[in-house]
């Protein structure tokens, strides 16, 4: 029912694109984040830059419940409203709230679905991300900066200087794109190559698929719930080193300033990573 309603509402939207001057003069800005996990983390990192440039505005982030722990971690001083968009009571409650609060500008970076587009259409000015024109090949963070009228920044990478040892190691081998996932043999090789740096470490494997779990390692299984997200966030914060595929945990590790190793199989780091990211890269 909700999807049908959204499709009808967004079928013939008349875009009212904001300008940079609109952004500067606005008082209330809405961010509707209904996209993939990794893209949401990218959004939050760039939105943090946006808020630092425009600190004296009234902001609201709306998102699915499972994303709210990440919003509150990266944007602790920004109002966040999370809900189940498939629940009609939740959906129409949010709709009424947005209509009542009259936001000046709405943004839905990386959110190409009808949900985020509909919610920002309730603002005075908006441009749905799906209609935002950008180069086909562009750094993911730079794309969000362009959408939010922020300046492009030159891309560079800092090489991580590994510590002598790490007590807690978190391995996130799985991506929603199987071609980006790290296979079990590669994980074992990376651990062997690290040698004494992880010898005797407490190793945890976090994945959606139980087939990634290995005997002798702690296990964390991802679920699409707020509690699971909160538990995973704490796991990342308490880890000393992360080993990640090209996936959302990579962006979270970078956002939290953790030591991490990224394994790239089919993607170019310059497209995926934020500017000035400090890490060790392994390519296949």
- Per-residue pLDDT tens over the stretch 36-64: 999 999 999 999 999 999 999 999 999 99
pLDDT at 184: 85
What average pLDDT does this structure show over 1-13? 84
pLDDT tens digits for range 93-147: 999 999 999 999 999 999 988 999 999 999 999 999 999 988 888 999 999 999 9
Residue ending a domain, among 147, 168, 192, is 147
Is residue 53 within 8 Å of residue 59, measured between CB atoms? no
Q: Are residues 127 and 19 in the same domain?
A: yes
Q: Are residues 212 and 279 in the same domain?
A: yes
Q: Are residues 184 and 126 in the same domain?
A: no
- Measured CA to CA, the distance from residue 173 to residue 71 in angstroms comes to 23
Q: Which residue has the higher pLDDT, 283 or 167?
A: 167
Residue ending a domain, among 126, 147, 168, is 147
* Number of independent structural domains in the chain: 2
Packing angle between helix 248-255 and helix 37-53, nearest 10 degrees? 30
1 pLDDT more than 90: no
Q: Are residues 7 and 93 in the same domain?
A: yes
pLDDT at 283: 87
Residue ending a domain, among 97, 116, 147, is 147
Whole-model pTM: value is 0.95
Q: Are residues 143 and 161 in the same domain?
A: no
Identify whether 152 is part of a domain.
no
Q: Which helix (H) or strand (E) holds 149?
A: none
- Measured CA to CA, the distance from residue 135 to residue 271 in angstroms comes to 12
- The range of the structural domain enclosing residue 102 comes to 2-147
Q: What are the backbone angles phi and psi of residue 134, rounded to the nearest 5°?
A: -150, 160
Q: What are the backbone angles phi and psi of residue 79, rounded to the nearest 5°?
A: -65, 135
């Amino acid at each position: 029912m909700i999807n049908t309603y959204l499709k009808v509402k967004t079928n013939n939207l008349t875009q009212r694109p904001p300008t940079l001057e609109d952004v500067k003069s606005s008082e209330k800005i809405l961010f509707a984040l209904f996209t993939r996990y990794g893209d949401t983390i990218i959004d939050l990192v760039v939105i943090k830059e946006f808020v630092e440039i425009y600190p004296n505005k009234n902001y609201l982030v709306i998102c699915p419940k499972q994303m709210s722990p990440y919003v509150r971690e990266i944007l602790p001083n920004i109002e966040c409203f999370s809900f189940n968009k498939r629940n009609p009571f939740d959906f129409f409650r949010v709709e009424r709230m947005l209509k009542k609060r009259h936001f000046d500008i709405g943004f839905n970076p990386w959110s190409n679905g009808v949900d985020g587009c509909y919610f920002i259409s309730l603002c005075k000015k908006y441009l749905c991300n799906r209609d935002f024109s950008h180069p086909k090949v562009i750094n993911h963070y730079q794309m969000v900066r362009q959408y939010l009228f922020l300046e492009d920044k030159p891309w560079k990478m800092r090489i991580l200087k590994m510590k002598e040892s790490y007590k807690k190691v978190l391995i996130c081998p799985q991506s929603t794109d199987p071609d980006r996932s790290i296979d079990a043999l590669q994980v074992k090789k990376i651990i062997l190559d690290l040698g004494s740096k992880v010898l005797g470490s407490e190793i945890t494997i976090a994945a959606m698929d139980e087939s990634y779990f290995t005997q002798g390692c702690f296990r964390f299984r991802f679920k699409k719930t707020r509690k699971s997200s909160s538990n995973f966030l704490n796991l990342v914060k308490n880890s000393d080193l992360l080993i990640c595929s090209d996936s959302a945990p990579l962006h979270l590790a970078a956002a939290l300033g953790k030591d991490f190793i990224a394994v790239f199989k089919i993607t170019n780091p310059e497209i995926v990573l934020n500017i000035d990211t400090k890490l060790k890269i392994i390519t296949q």
